[in-house]
Amino acid sequence: MDKTLRKYSSLDEMKADEYRYWQSRPAHERIDAVEEMVNTAYALKGWEPEPSKPRAEWPVLRLRCPWL
């Protein structure tokens, strides 16, 4: 873990550095971070997120394209 302290002169500079950091991380790590934030938000509200369903259980609806 990087324990470097950084001092910023502006909020824009800080946000740009944060953006560069997250863009340098692999996609799966960014998605894991978002999932952790969502779960934390649910916990703060006292809710429990619904368990994920496998995609095969979702209903599938096929619509005909009228111009084909």
Which is more confidently placed, 21 or 52? Answer: 21
pLDDT > 80? residue 53 = no
How confident is the model at residue 55, as a pLDDT?
A: 62
User: By C-alpha distance, which of 38, 58, 62, 34 is closest to 48?
Assistant: 38
For 35, the enclosing helix (H) or strand (E) is: helix 27-45
pLDDT > 80? residue 61 = no
Which is more confidently placed, 39 or 2? Answer: 39
Cα atoms in the 13 Å half-sphere on the side-chain side of 47: 9
C-beta of residue 49 within 8 angstroms of C-beta of residue 38: yes
Give every CB contact of residue 39 below 8 A, 6+ residues apart in sequence.
49
Q: Tell me: the pLDDT tens digits for 12-44?
A: 999 999 999 999 999 999 999 999 998 899 899
